[in-house]
Amino acid sequence: MPRESVKDQIIAAAVDALHSKGFNGTSVQDITDAAKVPKGSFYNHFGSKEELAVAALDRYWQLVLAGLQPLSDPSTPPMDRLRQYFRRLAERGRTREYRTGCMIGNMSTEMPDQSRAVRERLAVVLAAWSRAIESCVREAQADGSMRRDLDARIVAAFLLNSFEGAIMRSKVDKDAASFAAFEEVVFTALAP
Amino acid sequence: MPRESVKDQIIAAAVDALHSKGFNGTSVQDITDAAKVPKGSFYNHFGSKEELAVAALDRYWQLVLAGLQPLSDPSTPPMDRLRQYFRRLAERGRTREYRTGCMIGNMSTEMPDQSRAVRERLAVVLAAWSRAIESCVREAQADGSMRRDLDARIVAAFLLNSFEGAIMRSKVDKDAASFAAFEEVVFTALAP
C-alpha cells in the first residue's frame, strides 16, 4: 500500500481539527502539528487555510456519502430506511458525547460570509445530501407510508435542515432529547 | 438620560461582533475598538472574553424575549401567532441578506465544548425559548387548530430546533427556501 502522502495527512488532521474546533478556532500550525509535518510543507500543498477547509469538507462529505447508502437499499421499506438513517446519525452523536456535531453544519454556521469558496461548496454538498433523502421520501410517498400532500423535495430539505438543528441543540443540552423530538414529530406528522 | 456606561458600550459592541464573526473570530481588541474604549478598560469590567460572551448572550436574549410577546397575544388565533412568529424571524434573516443568522444558534454550534459557562447559559435560554413556544402550541392544540397526538413540549422544542436548522441553511443558500420549507411542512403536517 502506498504511504499516505503529506497532503493526505494534512487533510486528515484538518478534518479532525476543523470538525472539533471550527475554522477560526484552528490555526495552520495546529493542523501541521497534528499531522506531524513541518509547518513549511503546508504551503507546498495549499494556497491558504481556506483552500484546506474546502479539501477537508470534501473529505468529510465522502464519509457522509458512504453513510447515505442504506437510504437506497430496496430490501428495507423506505420509511424504515429514513427512520434508521436519522437514528444512526443520532447514535453517532451519542457515542461522541454530543461534542463535535456535524462538520457540515458547523461550517454552515461559521463560514458562509467568511469564505465564498467554502459557502459554494457547502451549497453543493447540502443540495446533494437533500437529493439523496428526497429519493427515499419519494419512495415512501409512492408506497403510501408517507403523506403525499407535501412535495418530496421540500420534505427532504426540511428533514435535513431540521436534523442539523437537532444536532445543534444536542451540543448544548448534551443529551438525545432533540433527536427523540425530531423522530417523534417527523414520523408521526409525516405519516399518511 | 444617563450616559451609556463603558461596560454597556462593550457589551453592545460584543453582541455585534460575536453575532457576525463568532467567538473565535473576534478578539478582545476587535470589541474594544468597535466600542471605542481603551483595551485596558476591558479587564476592569470582564474577567475574560468568555465572561463577556455570557453577558452578550444575555443582552441578545433580551431582544429575542421581546420578540416573543406576540406569541401570547390573545387577539390572534394561536396557530396564526406561531406562523407569524416564524415568518417575522425569517423576514429578519432576509433583511440581513441571510448573513449573521441567530447568535444563539451560532454560539450553540461553536461554543458548548469550549466554554461551560456559555453552554449552561445557552441551555437555560433555549429552554425558556422552547417554553414560550410551548404555551402557544398548547393553545393551538386546545382550540383544535393543531393535531393533539404529539406532546406540546416536544413539538415546541422541535419547532425551535428545526427553525435554527433553517437559519443555518439560509446562510449557505442565501435565500428563503429553507424558511419556506419549514413553514410548508410544519403547518401542513401539524394541522389536525
Quote the ipTM score.
0.96
> Residue A41: is its pLDDT beyond 60?
yes
Task: Provide the 10 A C-beta neighbour count for residue B31.
Answer: 26
Name the residue among B22, B165, B172 with its Cβ closest to that of A123.
B172
List b or e across A77-93, with b for residues whose CB sees 16 or more CB atoms inside 10 angstroms.
ebbebbeebbeebbeeb
CA distance B174 to B99: 8
pLDDT value of position B4: 74
pLDDT tens by residue, A120-144: 999 999 999 999 999 999 999 999 9
What residue of A is the nearest CA neighbor of B116?
A172
Choose among B110, B158, B165: nearest Cβ to A164: B165
Structural contact between residues B185 and A150, judged by C-beta atoms closer than 8 angstroms: yes
Contact A192, A183 (CB under 8 A): no
* Most A CBs within 10 Å, among B107, B147, B169, to test the A interface: B169
pLDDT at A1: 47
pLDDT average, residue stretch A66-89: 97
Contact B112 A155 (CB under 8 A): no
Q: State phi, psi for B115 to the nearest 5 degrees.
A: -145, 115
CB contact under 8 A, A163 and B168: no
pTM: 0.96
Percent of chain A at pLDDT > 90 equals 96
Alpha carbon of A3: minimum distance to chain B alpha carbons (Å): 34
Gap between the terminal Cα atoms of chain A: 52
Task: Determine whether the interchain pair A189/B147 forms a contact, defined as Cβ–Cβ distance below 8 Å.
Answer: yes
Task: Give the span between the Cα atoms of B18 and B24, in whole angstroms.
Answer: 9
Mean of pLDDT over chain A: 96
Tens of pLDDT along chain B (192 residues) come to 456 799 999 999 999 999 999 999 999 999 999 999 999 899 999 999 999 999 999 999 999 999 999 999 999 999 999 999 999 999 999 999 999 999 999 999 999 999 999 999 999 999 999 999 999 999 999 999 999 999 999 999 999 999 999 999 999 999 999 999 999 999 999 999
B-interface mutation test, from A102, A158, A184, most B Cβ less than 10 A away: A158
By C-alpha distance, the chain B residue nearest A101 is B109
Å between B121 CA and nearest CA of chain A: 9
Given a cut of 60, whether residue A2 has pLDDT beyond it is: no
DSSP states of A95-143? HTTT-S--HHHHHHHHSTTT-HHHHHHHHHHHHHHHHHHHHHHHHHHHT
Residue-level pLDDT at A4? 74
| pLDDT tens digits, B105-114 | 999 999 999 9
Contacts across the A-B interface (CB distance below 8 Å): 166
Instruction: Give pLDDT, residue B1.
Output: 46
Find the residue in B nearest to A22 (Cα): B110
Specify the residue for cell string 494534512.
A10
A-chain residues near B163 (CB < 8 A): 165
Q: How many CA atoms lie within 13 A of B138 on its CB side?
A: 9
